[in-house]
Amino acid sequence: MISYGHVVEVPLNIQKFLLAKGVSFEIVGNKLMEEQIQKLFPKKYMSISNPCFGRPFDNGHQFYADLKQVKRKLKLNNKDLVIVLTSYINEALGVKRFVQDNSANSPGQD
């Protein structure tokens, strides 16, 4: 098997584990993901607009907008787990805002 690096290898292993456990999941990928890589993930939703180091002065706005779209499309709720495998400042800021906006829906807030 070809090694694609951690950005592909980690979700492949997560996918393998979740399939073996019978857990429902969805891989959310970059809209520009190569077709060869997309074929490795049968349950995918291409939603992330920028690569990790794209638009360095965005302050997380696009990643936040992408996360909101993912939440709507996949109907995420407080029992779902979202794992962001690679992040830089934009992703960290986008996740921070997303968590703040959705903290009332997080586990343990009942």
Residue 110 domain flag? no
Residue 34 domain flag? yes
Q: What is the pTM of this model?
A: 0.80
Our count of domains for the chain comes to 1
Residue 95 domain flag? yes
Residue 27 domain flag? yes
Which residue segment(s) compose the domain that 11 sits in?
Answer: 6-105
Of 24, 12, 28, 18, nearest to 67 (Cα)? 28
Residue 61 domain flag? yes
- 90, exposed or middle or buried, with CB in 10 Å at 0-12, 13-18, 19+? buried
Residue 22 domain flag? yes
Residue 71 domain flag? yes
Residue 1 domain flag? no
pLDDT tens for each residue of 39-88? 989 888 888 888 767 777 889 999 999 999 999 999 998 888 888 887 78
